[in-house]
Amino acid sequence: MIVPLSLWQEKTRALIGTALWTGGVVLGLGTLALEYGFTRRTETSAVICCLAVSAAALLWAGKLAGWLWVRRDFHWTQAILDGFLLLGLAAALILVPLIAPAGLSGGRLRWACFHLYLLTICLLQVGRFTVRAAAAGRTPTQVLLISFALIICTGAILLMLPAAYRGQDLSFTDAVFTATSATCVTGLTVQDTGGAFTRLGQMIILALIQVGGLGIMIYGSLFALLLGSRLTLKETVAMRDIMNEQSPGRVGRMVVFICLLTFLVEAIGVAGLYGMWQTDSQRGGQIFKSVFHAVSAFCNAGFSLQADSLESYRFAVPVYLVIVPLIILGGLGFPVLENLWHLLLARRRRRRSPAGSGAAVPTAVRLSLHSKVVLATSLILLLSGWIGLWVLDLTRPDQKGAGFNVMAIVDGWFNSVTARTAGFNTVSIAERSAAGKLVLIFLMSVGGSPSSTAGGIKTVTLAVMVLAMYATIKRRRQVQVFHRTIPVMVVRRAATMILLYGLLLWLLTLLLTITEHSLGADLMDLLFEVASALGTVGLSTGVTGHLTLAGKWVIIGAMFVGRLGPLSLLAALTFNARPVRYEYPAEPLVVG
């Protein structure tokens, strides 16, 4: 078959454009790693400067090739953001040295501005590429899996840079463990985040938490919208599948809502936490600590700059008035938050336009079935976990929870919230009774809600299976809730999810008992560790820091699978499986 010349030319031009910007991204990120990850030497400064300029030139060559050579539908509005970035760079190169404090080199400041610009355009290009890759023909789940793996590898390499770690070199396994825990918003650590890593390393971990919490494709879609280009139909459908969105037409608005809400809530969290911290040169000042913990709380990561998490701030009011709401909001899921936001706006509009005023009546907005199930299940889990942990706390070995203790009640509430995949702790988990640990394992396994920053089997999955059990006991043919019928396919997915999760929990615990037989930890602590990793929680009884090399890789696999979700991972691996088009005769089985 002879390929038309015009088609061959288009493919060649597209390949050349892709090669240009790919080379620019690799060269740019490598140059930044050389500049800030190693000790600066005078003889290499000129080489690094040349590499940075070459990277920017390749990126702009790729952009121009894409605009003028490949895409025929190019419009000048798509270059608005790039123009603003260039103007901002020019202004920074002129003004920053003029307003800089005495003693700082103007040349160094100019190069720092240029490096920031280079990093920005590299991230914009990478984010945009992920969305295009998701629409290139493969299942979006496979692209999501690959993107998370690449982020983890990149984060591990950056954490191994000499400027990111204090003391001796960070081992490859510990770097991958930390990068996986941050990207998968888990919070399990084998190194003290505040003490072992420099400020650069802590900022790398913070960036991994933020990107892993929302997903690189969310940022890629936002970048595409900021760049002035709309998502294509394939890209919209791919993002709809990733975000579990029903209507493709709402994908763009949902992406903007997610990003704006995330940054707004985190900013409020930073303001609420400011002034609470004890500062030092290693673990950061008030602003950095507030930013780090606000992002970690909303993304349900559980990373802390203190070696004891939040135990030293057990009596601090912002822990309960700021961090707890951040965890709950991050675990509800963005569809629920958007539904609640539109509901509040609709009620406000109705109050402003009372009946009989002649004004147009606003469209009625109601809570969706998904929101009702999420809110009801979350409330039941929070309250039952709170009461259960407080009551079971009376049987602690040290008897610290005996009697009516106000702090024991507060600790029970905080642990009920944080066990829903957040990972912070105000009391030692190792001191809890066996019954209390089992309650925490159940809460960690359930996790948060769909399309949130949390892990676990999700609240809706648990609610669907409980409702299916109720329907079976009542001999009903359909599973119903809030005067609605749940489709059979949803019930089957929920049952599959719970079965897969249970099998993984058992298998990973079995592997950990084999790898950690020399550790001397009991089965409860190993089960707790696996449940925390698989649920992307981050709570630990103290086993994490003593894991063997094989045990660390078992936990790394658990965190990775837990972030993607067992069902999504299975769907990615069986993407090419075709449904059968025949049925066998039915025959009953005896169950139970």
Query: What is the DSSP code (8-state) at residue 403?
Result: S
The answer to whether the CB of 314 falls within 8 A of the CB of 228 is: no
- SS3 of 160-217: the string is CCHHHECCCCCCHHHHHHHHHHHHCCCCCCCCCHHHHECHHHHHHHHHHHHHHHHCHH
Backbone angles phi, psi at 481, to 5 degrees: -160, 135
Query: What is the DSSP code (8-state) at residue 284?
Result: B
- Using a 10 angstrom Cβ sphere, with 0-12 exposed, 13-18 middle and 19 or more buried, the burial of residue 359 is exposed
The answer to whether the CB of 347 falls within 8 A of the CB of 364 is: no
The pLDDT value recorded for residue 236 is 55
Beta carbons within 10 angstroms of residue 319's beta carbon: 20
Query: Shortest CA distance to 124 belongs to which of 238, 223, 206, 51?
Result: 223
Q: What is the C-alpha separation between 164 and 585, in angstroms, rounded?
A: 63
Give residue for tokens 């992002």.
295
The answer to whether the CB of 542 falls within 8 A of the CB of 189 is: no
The answer to whether the CB of 28 falls within 8 A of the CB of 118 is: yes
Q: What is the C-alpha separation between 197 and 176, in angstroms, rounded?
A: 14
Query: Shortest CA distance to 26 belongs to which of 58, 48, 71, 61?
Result: 58
The pLDDT value recorded for residue 567 is 65
3-state secondary structure (DSSP) of residue 300: coil
The secondary structure element, H or E, covering residue 481 is strand 479-481
Which residues in the chain land under pLDDT 70? 1-11, 13-14, 39-44, 66-81, 100-106, 131-141, 215-252, 281-283, 352-364, 395-404, 567-579, 592
pTM, rounded to two decimals: 0.86
Distances (CA, A) of 294 to 143, 286, 309, 328, 470: 29, 12, 14, 13, 40
Q: What is the C-alpha separation between 119 and 205, in angstroms, rounded?
A: 17
Which residues lie closer than 8 Å to 369 by C-beta, 6 or more apart?
A: 481, 482, 484
The pLDDT value recorded for residue 319 is 87
Query: Shortest CA distance to 187 belongs to which of 454, 433, 380?
Result: 454
